[in-house]
Amino acid sequence: MTISVVINLAIFSALIIFLYAQQKKYISFTKRVFTGLGLGVVFGGLLQLYYGAGSEIIATSIDYFNIVGQGYVKLLQMIIIPLVMVSIISAILKLNGGSSVGKISAMTIGTLVFTTSIAALVGIVWSNIFGLTAEGLTAGVAEAARGQALEGRLNSVEHLSFAHMIIQFIPANPFLDMTGSRSTSTIATVIFSVFIGISATGVARKNPEVFASFEHFMNVAKTIVMRMVTLVLRLTPYGVMALMTKVISGSNYSDIINLANFVMASYGALFTMFAIHLSLVALVGINPLRYLKKIIPLLTFAFTSRSSAASIPLNVATQEKALGVSNGIANFAASFGSTIGQNGCAGIYPAMLAVMIAPTLGINPMDPGFIATLVAIITISSFGVAGIGGGATFAALIVLSAMDFPVALAGLLISIEPLIDMGRTALNVSGSAMAGTVTSKLLGETDMSVFNKNEAISVDGEDATA
């Protein structure tokens, strides 16, 4: 370890101590998250300014920063399955039946899939506004390697039908899915938990004493798991700082400038979909500005972590404690939203890639038939996209292979992938939070007294006033 790396780690440690001092002074959770974000941006920018892009010193330093950043993400992933299981089972026990579960699931999934089709159209429009095309793009060593890797993965998705994707949701071995072994493990665990909850409500009518014991057990389990979630969420400001430091210090700004049109078009589409989410929330009677203020910490974490799945605990906490969404709906929306109907990764991104590639094959990207086909394929393929880094690539492979488009061209965007993936992930999580909010309001289960409080989520035992 060189002296430069030691100095970088000393500075990073000092920043962590500063954030801890804020926590001890009971600075609000929201403000500490943004402080961590700002410190990460500044520190990462200074590292690249001083050492230069691609520096070995930065790479070595990031390895140690990852102990905090990736360590935090892994802790979040650790609690996803226990949180989903106990929350959904407890929610069904309170619902005392399967009819409400079916209604909640249908409305949540319907909202997610509908907005994904809208996101595809938005991606197409912004791609055409900027005149994006893959013609003239050159591939370096990294881009060529990425293209070959995508072609290698093509065999795993080119024969993947909608029916096969649905089958993948069914948990043949729920205990294996609890290990997160598949991209659809979260949804499979949700389905398994639903079966447990509905089975328990059936027992309630025949053997109320057994049901009472099981209900008490679930209450104890949920209390313990939620305490564990609280402990992990307290680490959010530190994790956000480390993750943002990594992204900023490791970016290649010359490549970003070369692909500036794609970056600007991507974020134009992303912000358009954010506005659509706020419009849908407003249509059901929710104040969009207050709603936006309350979900900003959640979007900040999703932006920096680039993982929809890792955002599930904070997503559930935000919906329930800040937006007033009922516990069951919050868990359904956050869980389903991590793998189904991701507006950013499964909607906007594959649509923009297809529009870019179309001219290279002599296809008019404004042709109504092309647009209708592309939107239909994206909507259907949006089921089961992994809620972790790489989900957008998986979605793109499915869509491009279904359109008979060359997938290797997607590798040309590898240099800007982290930058646009941050925005895509934030939009994915925004979509799931919106779906939960809309579903809860339409079903009359939103606690408006919680929503109207000027508070963000509290994870430290004190009021986290915004």
- Among 89-103, 174-188, 361-375, the range with the most confident prediction by mean pLDDT is 361-375
What pLDDT does residue 150 have?
Answer: 47
CB atoms within 10 A of CB 227: 9
Q: Is the pLDDT of residue 160 over 60?
A: no
What pLDDT does residue 458 have?
Answer: 59
Q: Is the pLDDT of residue 153 over 60?
A: no
CB atoms within 10 A of CB 125: 18
Q: Is the pLDDT of residue 96 over 50?
A: yes
Domains of the chain, by residue range, sit at: 3-451
What pLDDT does residue 57 have?
Answer: 93
Reported confidence tier of residue 147, pLDDT bands at 50, 70, 90: very low
The Cα–Cα gap between 226 and 247 comes to 30
Mean pLDDT confidence for 131-151: 54
pLDDT per residue as tens digits for the range 4-22: 999 999 999 999 999 999 9
Greater confidence (461 vs 383) lies with: 383
Residue % of the chain over a pLDDT of 90: 41
What pLDDT does residue 145 have?
Answer: 44
Mean pLDDT confidence for 198-214: 89
Closest CA to 346 of 281, 433, 431: 431
Q: Name residue, tokens 């639903």.
A: 194
What pLDDT does residue 140 have?
Answer: 44
Q: Is the pLDDT of residue 283 over 70?
A: yes
pLDDT per residue as tens digits for the range 289-338: 999 999 998 998 899 888 887 888 889 989 999 999 988 899 889 888 88
What is the pLDDT of the chain when averaged over all its residues?
84
What pLDDT does residue 450 have?
Answer: 92
What pLDDT does residue 328 have?
Answer: 83
Q: Quick check: helix, strand or coil at residue 416?
A: helix
Residue % of the chain over a pLDDT of 70: 85
What pLDDT does residue 258 have?
Answer: 63
What pLDDT does residue 429 have?
Answer: 95
The Cα–Cα gap between 80 and 101 comes to 20
What pLDDT does residue 410 have?
Answer: 61
Task: Tell whether the torsion through CA atoms of 352, 250, 313 and 455 is positive or negative.
Answer: negative
Q: Is the pLDDT of residue 49 over 50?
A: yes
What pLDDT does residue 230 have?
Answer: 86
What pLDDT does residue 464 have?
Answer: 39
- Residue 130: phi, psi to the nearest 5? -90, -5
Annotation: CATH topology of 3-451: Proton glutamate symport protein (1.10.3860)
Q: Is the pLDDT of residue 142 over 50?
A: no
What pLDDT does residue 139 have?
Answer: 46
What pLDDT does residue 5 have?
Answer: 93
Greater confidence (1 vs 342) lies with: 342
Model pTM score: 0.81
What pLDDT does residue 144 have?
Answer: 44
Reported confidence tier of residue 288, pLDDT bands at 50, 70, 90: very high
Chain centroid to Cα 452, Å, comes to 26
- Is-contact 352 127, C-beta < 8 A? yes
Closest CA to 448 of 326, 299, 340: 326
CB atoms within 10 A of CB 152: 10
What pLDDT does residue 124 have?
Answer: 95
Reported confidence tier of residue 357, pLDDT bands at 50, 70, 90: confident
Closest CA to 392 of 265, 461, 455, 306: 306
The partner residues of 340 in beta bridges, in order of sequence, read 383
CB atoms within 10 A of CB 14: 9
Mean pLDDT confidence for 355-381: 89
What pLDDT does residue 462 have?
Answer: 43
Mean pLDDT confidence for 46-75: 90
Reported confidence tier of residue 36, pLDDT bands at 50, 70, 90: very high
Greater confidence (307 vs 447) lies with: 447
Reported confidence tier of residue 461, pLDDT bands at 50, 70, 90: very low
